[in-house]
Amino acid sequence: MKGTLIFAVALAVAYALPTENQEKNDPERSGYRNHKLLSMTPTTKQQLKALEQVENDIEGSDFWIDPLLHHQAVFRISPDKFNDVMGILKNSGGHPNVLHEDVQEMMDTPEMQTQSRAAATQYIVDNSQYHSYATIQNYLNTFKSNYPSLVPDVGVAPHKTHDNRDVSYITLSTNGVSSTKQAIFIECGIHAREWISPAVCLYFIDRLLATYNSDSTATALLNQFDWVIIPEANPDGYEYTRSSTSNRLWRKNRRRFTTGNCNGYYGVDLNRNFDAMWGTTGVSSSCTSDTYPGTGAFSEPESRNIRDKVNEIKDRLSAFISIHSYSQMILTPYGFDSSKPSNTGHITAVSNAARDKLYNVHNKYFTVGTPGELLYHASGGSYDWSMVGAGVSFAVTYELRPAGSDWATGFRLPANQILPSGEEMWESISHIALNH
């Protein structure tokens, strides 16, 4: 974490708190009780710097929308850090605003379940709710048994997770296991709390298989390409967010640290753990941070699984798609700094058209640009690695619904938006596949 240690020591001396209080405020133990959700729109460089200081130096600060000049930042702060943070921000001339007094209360209102909209009978997945890891595994096996001629392989990636789970992948192909067709790779669920991502992956697989014989787009998608899809790349983190509303906002994997300052803490940000300018931008060196990149590139089994599956087919892989939430964006490469691949014009043009296709379905507008233009630089991301590490020439990252301004929904997208999200992403991904 940039400059963290010195600042953290100063804070600890100035505002030492009783251990009991620290325990109470540790999300590992007590969830988000009395955590405040704040917003602030920086209108000067000084205010922006203050927000960046809070993001980088205040332990446990969780930015749902990152600081950008003249844009509203939204972030969660634990009660023991509240006064410090208000002080820092007000000193800069800013006017932080409390959006919610108790984030735990927000989390305790569950994502609603809805009646599934009548879908064609051959669909397999129930899109009226978010599913457990076990149910997702079952769906993958059902895809294989119901469509043996289109699903040559449902398998387990080579590395077990820290909690001993399998990471599954599915291969869709009209040519069987030894196919040499061009391939497209989709990764979902790398961040635990972004539940809409695996749900959209499942919808995409389901629709591709169910409509291959009846819909000309699906036919083209499978006749022209093989698809390798990891619908739940971080099952430990995902199950952790499902285990209690107190853990609903967990982002990382569940690596447990057992030594030094980190002893007893958990988690590496898997989208900072790839070998793409690893550890340089958008990361924190504190293992308690949500952007801790791990001890080295590919230190984590979950990122190695994506690496290994991509490397198996990299010679025929023509596109890599990473799916996250939230803020309605299509992020073009690179994320690690301001440099761009030589075909950036082409990637942007295809992404703009994919954005329009998406918009035409349910009028949800996605913004297209690089992370540096729209959010922040961040190193070690999977889509950057697919290009610089595996030589794939086309890669994008989606940030799904809701819009960035919708902090009250955020990562907790109601289940009645699974189906429309799937429908708009079907059009958008189809466009990329057939035009990249």
Q: With contact defined as beta carbons under 8 Å apart, do 417 and 196 qualify?
A: yes
Residue number, 187 or 399, with CB nearest to ligand 0X9: 399
How many other CB atoms are there within 10 angstroms of residue 121's CB atom? 6
Residue number, 171 or 332, with CB nearest to Zn ion: 332
Residue number, 42 or 404, with CB nearest to ligand 0X9: 404
End-to-end, the C-alpha distance of the chain in Å comes to: 37
Give the shortest CB-359-to-Zn ion separation in angstroms: 22
- Which listed residue (171, 241, 397, 417) binds ligand 0X9 by CB under 6 A? 397
Rounded CA-CA distance 315/180 in Å is 9
Residue type, 14: A
With H, G, I as helix, E, B as strand and everything else as coil, classify residue 359. Answer: helix
Residues touching Zn ion, count (CB under 5 A): 3
Q: Which residues of 365-398 are buried (b: 16+ CB within 10 A; e: fewer)?
A: ebebebbbebbbbbbbbbbbbbbbbbebbbbbbb
Residue 255 makes contact with ligand 0X9 by CB under 6 A: no
Residue 324 makes contact with Zn ion by CB under 5 A: yes
How far CA 360 is from CA of 8, 90, 178, in Å, comes to 48, 43, 37
Give me the 335-364 binding string for ligand 0X9, x by CB under 6 A, dash otherwise: x-----------------------------
Residues touching ligand 0X9, count (CB under 6 A): 13
Give me the 170-209 binding string for Zn ion, x by CB under 5 A, dash otherwise: ---------------------x--x---------------
Give the shortest CB-375-to-ligand 0X9 separation in angstroms: 6
The count of residues in the chain is 436
**Complete edge-to-edge strand list for the sheet that includes strand 183-188:** 153-156, 168-172, 226-230, 183-188, 317-327, 395-403, 329-331, 367-369
- Which listed residue (1, 37, 210, 331) binds ligand 0X9 by CB under 6 A? 331
Q: Which of ligand 0X9, Zn ion, none does residue 293 bind (CB under 5 to 8 Å by kind)?
A: none
Residue 324 makes contact with ligand 0X9 by CB under 6 A: yes
Residue 53 makes contact with ligand 0X9 by CB under 6 A: no
Residue 323 makes contact with ligand 0X9 by CB under 6 A: no
Q: Which of Zn ion, ligand 0X9, none does residue 335 bind (CB under 5 to 8 Å by kind)?
A: ligand 0X9
User: Which contacts qualify for 11-19: CB closer than 8 Å, 24 or more apart?
Assistant: 11/57, 11/84, 15/80, 15/83, 15/84, 17/80
Give the residue numbers marked as catalytic: 399
Give the shortest CB-194-to-Zn ion separation in angstroms: 5
Give the shortest CB-376-to-ligand 0X9 separation in angstroms: 7
Rounded CA-CA distance 407/412 in Å is 10
**Residue number, nearest CB to ligand 0X9:** 381
Give the shortest CB-335-to-ligand 0X9 separation in angstroms: 2
φ/ψ (deg, to 5) at 271: -85, 20
Q: With contact defined as beta carbons under 8 Å apart, do 200 and 421 qualify?
A: yes
Segment 264 to 303, residues that bind ligand 0X9, using CB under 6 A: 271
**33 token code pair:** 């009780």
Give the shortest CB-191-to-ligand 0X9 separation in angstroms: 5
Helix (H) or strand (E) holding 372, with range, is helix 371-374
Q: Which of Zn ion, ligand 0X9, none does residue 397 bind (CB under 5 to 8 Å by kind)?
A: ligand 0X9
Segment 108 to 127, residues that bind Zn ion, using CB under 5 A: none
Segment 366 to 385, residues that bind ligand 0X9, using CB under 6 A: 371, 378, 381, 383-384
Query: Who contacts 141 (Cβ-Cβ below 8 Å, separation ≥6)?
Result: 154
With CA atoms as reference, report the closest residue to 325 among 392, 387, 412: 412
Residue number, 37 or 209, with CB nearest to ligand 0X9: 37
Q: What is the CA radius of gyration of the chain?
A: 21
Residues that bind ligand 0X9 in the complex, under the rule CB under 6 A:
191, 194, 271, 324, 331, 335, 371, 378, 381, 383-384, 397, 399
Residues that bind Zn ion in the complex, under the rule CB under 5 A:
191, 194, 324
